[in-house]
Amino acid sequence: YESLELAKKLAEEYDLSEKVEFHQEDAWNLPFEDEFTLLTSNGLNVYEPDDEKVTELYRQFFKALMPGGILVTSFLTPSPNIDPNSEWDMSQINSEDLLLSKIIFFDILNVQFTAFRSSYTTKLQLGTVGFDDVEFIWDNARIFPIVTAKKPK
């Protein structure tokens, strides 16, 4: 709610209020069908450990997009201590920074990232619901990629 209110204020400041709409909805039960050309989601899937529920989330996004619409989302890949086939590029990771990040996010802030997925799993989930043209935009360390997917026309 607070984020939407801040976004509305920004839209007013930039004289965009007439050009934008804001909705607060349950992402797993969206009331939209073929309405959006672009949909972005950053964060929902990293808190949901159940792959079937994440696939359902992507199904809702697919339904809400117009044919030809694009989804932009991201996900966390598993670390080498979770998955021996980890996609992480350890040559790009400072081990002291990694330890500090772990302490800040998990020990102090108690962040509950529990849902790590490989690019293979993510591509499979997106394809299962009908997306195509799935592309990954990797960060240097291959930890938190952005993925784009298109709803066919």
Which CATH number covers residue 76?
3.40.50.150
Query: What are 35-61's pLDDT values in tens digits?
Result: 999 999 987 898 899 999 999 999 999
Q: How far apart are CA 8 and CA 113, in angstroms?
A: 29
Same domain, 3 and 77: no
Task: State the pLDDT at residue 112.
Answer: 63
Task: State the pLDDT at residue 95.
Answer: 81
Q: How far apart are CA 49 and CA 26, in angstroms?
A: 18
Task: State the pLDDT at residue 126.
Answer: 98
Residue 135, SS3? strand
CB 113 within 8 A of CB 105: yes
Same domain, 82 and 130: yes
The count of structural domains within the chain is 2
**For a pLDDT cut of 70, what percent of the chain falls above it?**
97
Query: Domain range for residue 42?
Result: 32-150
Same domain, 2 and 74: no
Which range (20-34, 44-58, 96-110, 132-146) has the least confidence? Answer: 96-110
Same domain, 71 and 123: yes
Confidence band for 113, pLDDT divided at 50, 70 and 90 = low
State pTM to two decimals: 0.85
Which range (6-20, 47-61, 64-78, 97-111) has the least confidence? Answer: 97-111
Same domain, 61 and 129: yes
Same domain, 23 and 37: no
Same domain, 80 and 22: no
Task: State the pLDDT at residue 24.
Answer: 93
Same domain, 22 and 71: no
Q: How far apart are CA 121 and CA 138, in angstroms?
A: 15
Q: Tokens standing for 23?
A: 């909705």
Task: State the pLDDT at residue 145.
Answer: 97
DSSP at 33: S
Same domain, 120 and 84: yes
- Kindly report the average pLDDT of the chain as a whole number: 92
Same domain, 9 and 50: no
Same domain, 4 and 55: no
> Residue 105 pLDDT > 80, yes or no?
no
Same domain, 14 and 85: no
